A and B are shown apart, each in its own frame.
Chain A
């Protein structure tokens, strides 16, 4: 085991002197808060954004107050249908028989303005009906024969925050676990061949398996550090950044349980990715070829994280937790959204990632001990 420690120390020293790796980690740690700040600004702006409604005709009494209160500005236009195509977000024609609405569903601003309009029209209708009933001496509560009192078990803002984290955090964790150590992994494998240091290294009496363990551990540590740096900076930024408009603003927090699960998964992912990228690097003749081999990994790893975005209610059976990376995304999502851990799923996930790491290490070792490694170079 002494050789493992010698190689680990040397690799770590070299990595920490490599500007490429340090720059990648620093950029990740800095980029995450910046991205979050931009997202929070966009979300706040969307919540307080005023949309324009081009109208024609007589506005029913009191309705204009609701428009203003909901961030819909009323502009008088000659042709609301034509204006709704480009000049305004919605076009409305008020007639004695009702309201004609014109909007272009392909424009996001029109969609949001439409939702706001439907909300205030609903409120207006209800108020008018209630007033009419009251004028006739009828209790307006007759309209609600089965009144519902809602008791949310968690705050809606917390749910919104968890929903945001459940996508963003696994995405950061997986991409940083992969990319944070990628340069170091290729440098210690393909780079060793390219620099012509491999032959000298293999000439030492140290067993090749121990050389490889030392390298894998060093790359794992860097991957883990990169992932934790990015997530740490993200969590710090989340305490400062506010999402939503002023009325429904919320902060996003990570529970201690989810944080623990995340660190455990980060360790497993870092080990698996380190073994995998070193195996790919050992297959390559030089750093550049190693990068070419590793490029498809970006797409393969980002895909599972996207599932949570596109299918938020994806609740698979335990078999799905055997699929590496996807399982980490699902476990982390559950820990963040529900603040709970399905221990069976976590056990299957841990086993799956461990086996993946061991298989990748075995592949790397096979590649590292074959004669072609020297002959081809």
Chain B
């Protein structure tokens, strides 16, 4: 079995007066697409934000490739790339300048910069609009810029937080294909979504969380069990099934 790239251990977090996470644990491995599933408000985004060091855990611990997120946040950030639903890019910079900025801040060396930026532009088929200002790009093109900046430093762990929720069918398909491709390159891909249908098609293993608790986890087929699909399984697990 492949060694775990991300280990989340009994994670707890309170935001405001809400106890958002109540002891979440899971492991995601290199070379797999790991699904972090659950309805809106289940705690998926908070979990990912703790994994990528944006938030500090209240209790529990997270390790990314052996680095603790609290003690060694910068080492963790060097090894993580995050794509979210909210495609925030700098409108007055070109697509290429957006990518280069994040590459530089992620520690890509000057001599490597152009090669790395060109590689991701080519890989994501962005040549036609790489020189355009971001403000003039379509949503799909912006999402590609967001992906490019997340992977330009070639991180071994990629996290996608509801990446397709604002995209059309074609752009969504490209994202899914990219996740599969990244898995093929040996990356640990964590896919957070409330669209269980998508997860069922893509994920090797999943963890379903509900109200801050893990309600199921394991290989996708195991979690689905005898149910028609993951959605049916989830509804059954949270007691809302027929």
B25 within 8 A of A: no
Determine the residue in chain B with the shortest Cβ distance to A207.
B74
Asked, given contacts A195-B90, A205-B107, whether A200 binds B54 with beta carbons under 8 Å apart, the answer is no
CB of B94 to closest CB in A, whole Å:
10
Can you list 15 A-B contacts with CB-CB less than 8 angstroms, sorted by A residue number? A6-B104, A6-B105, A10-B93, A10-B101, A17-B92, A195-B88, A195-B91, A196-B88, A200-B149, A202-B54, A203-B52, A205-B74, A205-B77, A371-B54, A375-B15
Q: How far apart are the CA atoms of A197 and B102 in the complex, in Å?
A: 11
CB 8 Å contact bits of B76-119 with A (1 = contact, 0 = none): 01101010101111111100010001101111000000000000
Task: Report B-chain residues with C-beta under 8 Å of the C-beta of A371.
Answer: 54-56
Task: Report B-chain residues with C-beta under 8 Å of the C-beta of A366.
Answer: none
A79 within 8 A of B: no
Task: Report A-chain residues with C-beta under 8 Å of the C-beta of B49.
Answer: 374
Q: How far apart are the CA atoms of A148 and B140 in the complex, in Å?
A: 87
Task: Report A-chain residues with C-beta under 8 Å of the C-beta of B105.
Answer: 3, 6-7, 201, 204-206
Count A-B pairs with CB separation below 8 Å.
70
CB of A97 to closest CB in B, whole Å:
80
CB 8 Å contact bits of B125-166 with A (1 = contact, 0 = none): 000000000000000000000100110000000000000000
Q: How far apart are the CA atoms of A67 and B52 in the complex, in Å?
A: 86
| Shortest beta-carbon contacts, A-B, top 7 | A196-B88, A204-B105, A197-B88, A196-B86, A17-B92, A205-B77, A205-B74
Determine the residue in chain A with the shortest Cβ distance to B93.
A14
CB of A187 to closest CB in B, whole Å:
9
Task: Report B-chain residues with C-beta under 8 Å of the C-beta of A195.
Answer: 88-91
Q: How far apart are the CA atoms of A205 and B146 in the complex, in Å?
A: 17
Task: Report B-chain residues with C-beta under 8 Å of the C-beta of A14.
Answer: 90, 92-93
CB of B14 to closest CB in A, whole Å:
11
* Contact across chains for A197 and B90 when beta carbons are under 8 A apart: yes
- Taking Cβ atoms with an 8 Å cutoff, the residues of B that contact A are 15-16, 49, 52-56, 74-75, 77-78, 80, 82, 84, 86-93, 97, 101-102, 104-107, 146, 149-150
Interface residues of A in 272-288 (CB under 8 A from B): none
Q: How far apart are the CA atoms of A206 and B75 in the complex, in Å?
A: 11
B101: contacting residue among A6, A199, A203, CB under 8 A: A6
* Contact across chains for B106 and A205 when beta carbons are under 8 A apart: yes
Q: How far apart are the CA atoms of A375 and B46 in the complex, in Å?
A: 9
CB 8 Å contact bits of A321-343 with B (1 = contact, 0 = none): 00000000000000000000000
Count of residues in A whose CB is under 8 Å from the partner chain: 24
CB 8 Å contact bits of A183-213 with B (1 = contact, 0 = none): 0000000000001111111111111000000
- Pick from A17, A198, A200, A204 the residue with the most CB of B within 10 Å: A200
Q: How far apart are the CA atoms of A201 and B77 in the complex, in Å?
A: 11
Asked, given contacts A3-B105, A6-B105, A13-B93, whether A204 binds B77 with beta carbons under 8 Å apart, the answer is yes
B82: contacting residue among A3, A13, A203, CB under 8 A: A203
* Contact across chains for B80 and A203 when beta carbons are under 8 A apart: yes
Determine the residue in chain B with the shortest Cβ distance to A18.
B92
Task: Report A-chain residues with C-beta under 8 Å of the C-beta of B102.
Answer: 200, 204
Task: Report A-chain residues with C-beta under 8 Å of the C-beta of B16.
Answer: 375
Task: Report B-chain residues with C-beta under 8 Å of the C-beta of A198.
Answer: 88
* Contact across chains for B77 and A203 when beta carbons are under 8 A apart: yes
- Pick from A6, A7, A201, A203 the residue with the most CB of B within 10 Å: A203
CB of A177 to closest CB in B, whole Å:
24
Asked, given contacts A371-B55, A374-B55, whether A204 binds B91 with beta carbons under 8 Å apart, the answer is no
CB of B190 to closest CB in A, whole Å:
14
Known contacts A199-B82, A199-B84, A199-B86; 19 additional CB pairs below 8 A are A3-B105, A7-B105, A10-B101, A14-B92, A195-B88, A195-B89, A196-B88, A200-B150, A201-B105, A203-B53, A204-B77, A204-B102, A205-B75, A205-B106, A206-B105, A371-B54, A371-B56, A374-B49, A374-B54
CB 8 Å contact bits of A354-377 with B (1 = contact, 0 = none): 000000000000000001001100
CB of B100 to closest CB in A, whole Å:
9
CB 8 Å contact bits of A11-22 with B (1 = contact, 0 = none): 001100110000
* Contact across chains for B54 and A197 when beta carbons are under 8 A apart: no
Task: Report A-chain residues with C-beta under 8 Å of the C-beta of B88.
Answer: 195-200
CB of B98 to closest CB in A, whole Å:
9
- Pick from A198, A202, A204 the residue with the most CB of B within 10 Å: A204
CB of B139 to closest CB in A, whole Å:
13
* Contact across chains for A199 and B74 when beta carbons are under 8 A apart: no
Task: Report B-chain residues with C-beta under 8 Å of the C-beta of A196.
Answer: 84, 86-88
Interface residues of A in 231-281 (CB under 8 A from B): none
Task: Report A-chain residues with C-beta under 8 Å of the C-beta of B84.
Answer: 196, 199
Task: Report A-chain residues with C-beta under 8 Å of the C-beta of B53.
Answer: 203
CB of B28 to closest CB in A, whole Å:
17
Task: Report A-chain residues with C-beta under 8 Å of the C-beta of B78.
Answer: 205
- Pick from B87, B88, B97, B105 the residue with the most CB of A within 10 Å: B105
Q: How far apart are the CA atoms of A6 and B16 in the complex, in Å?
A: 35
Determine the residue in chain A with the shortest Cβ distance to B49.
A374
CB of A208 to closest CB in B, whole Å:
10
Q: How far apart are the CA atoms of A47 and B226 in the complex, in Å?
A: 99
Q: How far apart are the CA atoms of A203 and B55 in the complex, in Å?
A: 11
